[in-house]
């Protein structure tokens, strides 16, 4: 699972807090990717972050999302 984010994004911090909360009750691993370091990612996600994307899908989950939204997304797009 990838969390597309950038430094200083308070919504991104909220999104990662949801992942941390979920990881306390379910097996969950993710990496945070700073979109600023990649022009293509900036073009794709600059106005959408935070965005979650499972490894095996082109479907992503854009903000705003809840803990239940993340659970459903993971179940539908399990890595």
Give this prediction's pTM. 0.92
Q: How far apart are CA 22 and CA 70, in angstroms?
A: 9
Fold of 2-76: Glutaredoxin (3.40.30)
Q: What is the pLDDT of residues 16-74, one digit of tens each?
A: 999 999 999 999 999 999 999 999 999 999 999 999 999 888 899 999 999 999 999 99
Say if CB 52 and CB 60 are below 8 A apart: yes
Q: State phi, psi for 23 to the nearest 5 degrees.
A: -65, -15
């Amino acid at each position: 699972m990838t969390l597309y984010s950038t430094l200083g994004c308070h919504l991104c911090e909220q999104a990662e807090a949801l992942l941390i909360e979920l990881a306390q009750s379910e097996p969950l691993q993710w990496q945070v990717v700073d979109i600023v370091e990649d022009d293509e990612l900036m073009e794709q996600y600059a106005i959408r972050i935070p965005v979650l994307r499972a490894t095996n899908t082109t479907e992503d989950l854009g903000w705003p999302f809840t803990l239940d939204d993340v659970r459903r997304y993971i179940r539908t797009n399990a890595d």
